Structure 1
């Protein structure tokens, strides 16, 4: 018996998409309406967010989807830790990026 990806429930497709990259999730959404719905779901994007809630809390709003939250984290990075560090997400790969100011560094 042959099975087609589109025969799977949307939740399963979203789970599969969550194992890819943010870039791939956006690309797969252009294939069909079902894949777009699965690729835009919170279940597909939750895995791309950092696990540390402190990095997400400043950006989260109750009306924002997980995908929109991820995209906010990819935009201009806010300064944290007394203006000495900055955190953002790399849009294409979902990698976490940190920038430390020179004042944060100590040479011993």
Structure 2
């Protein structure tokens, strides 16, 4: 019949600190050092990780230093939305993007972070020689 005083009766229940209690900025700093695939997996853990995984500085570290010039070359100066987040820019650059009237394709290699380019035969030219005998496209059924 005595008075029982404990943490529970005073409202002083100590809450366990959980992974989701980490500040979003700290989580983002950790994510910045991970691979894009790992960032996307961790974004599924909780709200803090999801929010941190969308931070521009996390994805800007995954983009090539000249990504703005690459976007201009692929989409033109005014065709790519200027207010796009870096995560969307990264996703766009990872896809095959046609440029120069479809004679070239450029994409970001996810494993190395480097830009790749494929040039079709019609996109090539021999410089310094204007004679068509040296360079002409002859379509055949066998090719």
Fold shared by both chains (TM-score > 0.5): yes
**Could you tell me how far apart the structure 2 residues matched to 1:60 and 1:67 are?**
14
1:50-89 superposed matches below 5 A: 50-52=64-66, 53-57=68-72, 58=75, 60-80=80-100, 84-89=103-108
The Cα of 1:87 is off from its aligned counterpart by: 1.4
1:1-108 superposed matches below 5 A: 6=20, 8-52=22-66, 53-57=68-72, 58=75, 60-80=80-100, 84-90=103-109, 92-93=110-111, 94-102=113-121, 103-104=123-124
Q: Which runs of 5+ in 2 are unaligned?
A: 1-16, 127-143
**Could you tell me how far apart the structure 2 residues matched to 1:18 and 1:60 are?**
25
Larger RCO, structures 1/2 (Cα 8 Å, 6+ apart): 1
Root mean square deviation, CA, Å: 2.8
Cα deviation, 1:41-65, whole Å, max 9, x if unaligned, reads 1121111111113113337412321
The Cα of 1:16 is off from its aligned counterpart by: 1.8
**Which one has a larger percent helix, Structure 1 or Structure 2?**
1
**Could you tell me how far apart the structure 2 residues matched to 1:19 and 1:105 are?**
41
Question: Quick check: 1:11–1:43 contact (8 Å CA) kept in 2?
Answer: no
Q: TM-score, normalised by structure 1?
A: 0.72
**Could you tell me how far apart the structure 1 residues matched to 2:115 and 2:93 are?**
10
Cα deviation, 1:57-92, whole Å, max 9, x if unaligned, reads 337412321111111112231224x754321113x4
Q: TM-score, normalised by structure 2?
A: 0.57
The Cα of 1:104 is off from its aligned counterpart by: 2.8
